[in-house]
A and B are shown apart, each in its own frame.
Chain A
Amino acid sequence: MIRAFLKKLTSYRLFLPIASLILVLLVNMIKTPTFFQLEMRNGVLYGYIIDVINRASELVILAVGMTLVVAASGGTDISVGAVMAVAGAVCCFVLAGGQRTVNAYQNPYILGVLAALLAGILCGAWNGFLVSKMKIQPMVATLILFTAGRGIAQLVTRGQITYIRVENFKLLGANIPGVPLPTSIFIAILVVILTNLLLKKSALGLYIEAVGVNKNASRLVGIKSDQIIFLVYVFCGLCAGIAGMITTSRIYSADANNIGLNMELDAILAVALGGNSLAGGRFTLLGSVIGAYTIQALTTTLYAMGVSADQIPVYKAIVVVLIVSLQSEEFVRWFSKMQARRKVVA
């Protein structure tokens, strides 16, 4: 009875992300009793949990884009971190009008935002072009921007850190006065809801899954597979652009070396942890979002345990390999063989 229940539970698609989220939260609750405490100061909510949700915003946005890329092309976009840096650099370049540090916008704010998003879209279009038209493996195609992207961002900022010392520039990464929650949370949720609507209310979600399961079959059915893959990469670029804007606003400067550093691994991990197969095909957006929050909770926990930022990737890399190994067909086959053998013995 219990075994049947467990089996049903583990076969539920969101089992892995929810279970790991609960696990991380439990560990935190035991280690830091104040983890779930919320505090109201000057009309703003404070607390560990708010911090986690706030910091996870960029990752959630990236994970949304990455999920679609993984689903449609069976590959991952490893340039997202660098694209974030490019978007941040472009935004600051436009707003500062080419100067190094400014106390007032040189161009309208909206222009900076649009430029940043456009930069993200262009980077995504480049990746999409290479993958869909040139038929290059996604990871090699995105590897180009992965290394060149930060170089481009350096060129835009001329190797320096551009500061925007304007109060309302910080709004994206901080709180709008009178709202108790950080702005980035709302942006992340908005991106998730809009994407979900787009996927569920139109046939786009179905198309993406179809292309991911079998590209050629989808083409024969009449879906423009190449176009779908191209669009997915553009969308991922746009997501990276939005995420880059938020990070830039948090530090109110464009730091080409550090914006979005190691984010690509986090985003891939979020997708894998969300129960999505990295080989493409069916996907759950919600899983990736939960995965993203889990990873941020994990990161915060590791920070609290005194692990430094550049050491954290070790643990995440191990988790990625474990998850992907557990998902692999070979492992499943081996596991079922083991179980069959046990049954024979019994």
Chain B
Amino acid sequence: MIKQKKKFNENTFLLCITVGLFFAMYIAGMIVFRKNGFARFQVFLNLFISNASLIVVAVGMTVVMITGGIDISVGSFVAMSCMMLANMMENKGYGAVSSVLIVLLIGILFGFVQGFLVSYLKLQPFIVTLAGMFFARGMTAIISQDMISIKNPLFLSWATRKVFLPFGGTMNKRGVLIRPYIYPTVIIALIVLVLIFFMLRYTKFGRKIYAIGGGEQSALLMGLNVRRTRLLAYILDGFLCAIGGILFCLNTCSGFVEQARGFEMEAIAAAVIGGTLLTGGVGNVFGSLFGVLIKGTIETFITFQGTLSSWWTRITIAALLAFFIILQSILGSTKNRRRNSK
């Protein structure tokens, strides 16, 4: 009993740091930028609005990372999905619904190919997804080198429909109540988050994912089909990336080659900051949500501050990622030492 409690502490220690860090940053933001209205509820909701696609992609990344793998093709794939959507709707005359379905299918296919190479040919996930990253970015350029903006009315109506919340409104200077709103993208992202959370925790497939990440040999000896589980994890990741790509496109309503550069880093950082171990076997999608929110808060700081270049977001995220993986590594090595000394 006591032992179990201790294990719980070790696994959630990083997550606690993350949640604490997020609240500390957010409260600091409220104090520093109180004149600019940082404390408004809408600012908080904007974190979700601008990062809806990152949440979904980070969830997919978390699943793959729990199996002990990684996927650095996500940023390019998001760009490719946006470009495909834009191209199909504007140049090829497809409808919004069929374009979305095709992108989802391609996401599954992309995940299948990467997963097959990783699980059945036992290639290093990094090499495979690095190739995937360049492949998807190159394909984006092959589809079109110019920016395509989407004018499909149905798609735009999805993108611009505001969902007003019944609470948390603020009065503006004229005394008119401004109700806070979100976009449908946020709802989709949160549904995906909750679904994957329950899948990982309560389904056979989810437990298998943890099992093969915790120790491939033991999972194999337990009679789990390691290869198939890993393949399915990559397929799920590809599917989630496609959803992420669609959400990203709903946010930008355009497709161009340079879109979503560095997205893979943000997704990996979100997962790692959220307590997912790079060595696999440990991870929680809600942790990744907080990772995304931290990134969003940094971005909001930079927007509110106004003079800093947007490059600082990336540098801060990289620094945070470095900090957290060093922390993981230190925690991991003390754990090993303790185990060895026993």
Contact = CB atoms under 8 A, between A and B. Distances in A.
Interface stretch (A36-44, A56-64, A244-252, A322-330): A322-330
A75 interface: yes
Nearest to B113: A321
B315 A310 contact: no
Contact of A144 (B120, B121, B321): B321
B135 A144 contact: no
A303 interface: no
Interface in B293-314: 309, 311-312, 314
Interface in B101-147: 117, 120-124, 126-128, 130-135, 137-139, 141-142, 145
Interface stretch (B162-170, B204-212, B235-243, B322-330): B322-330
B135 A130 contact: no
Given A134-B325, A155-B309, A279 B128 contact: no
Contact of B315 (A143, A148, A278): A148
A265 B265 contact: no
A143 B128 contact: no
Contact of B137 (A78, A147, A310, A315): A310
A155 to B, nearest CB: 6
A318 interface: yes
Contacts of A268: 127, 130
A311 B141 contact: yes
Nearest to B128: A321
Interface residues of B, number: 45
Interface string B321-342: 1100110011011000000000
B220 interface: no
B134 A313 contact: yes
A122 B322 CA distance: 16
Contacts of A312: 138
Contacts of A186: none
B124 A311 contact: no
A264 B72 CA distance: 14
Most buried by B among A130, A139, A316: A139
Interface string B257-273: 10000101100100000
Q: 5 tightest CB-CB pairs across the interface, nearest first?
A: A314-B138, A148-B318, A313-B134, A317-B135, A310-B141
Interface of A: 75-76, 78, 130, 134-137, 139-141, 143-148, 150-152, 154-155, 159, 262, 264-265, 268, 278-279, 308, 310-318, 320-321, 324-325, 328-331
20 contacts: A75-B126, A130-B322, A130-B326, A134-B326, A140-B325, A143-B265, A144-B321, A155-B315, A159-B309, A265-B130, A308-B145, A310-B141, A314-B139, A314-B142, A316-B134, A317-B131, A324-B123, A328-B121, A330-B120, A331-B121
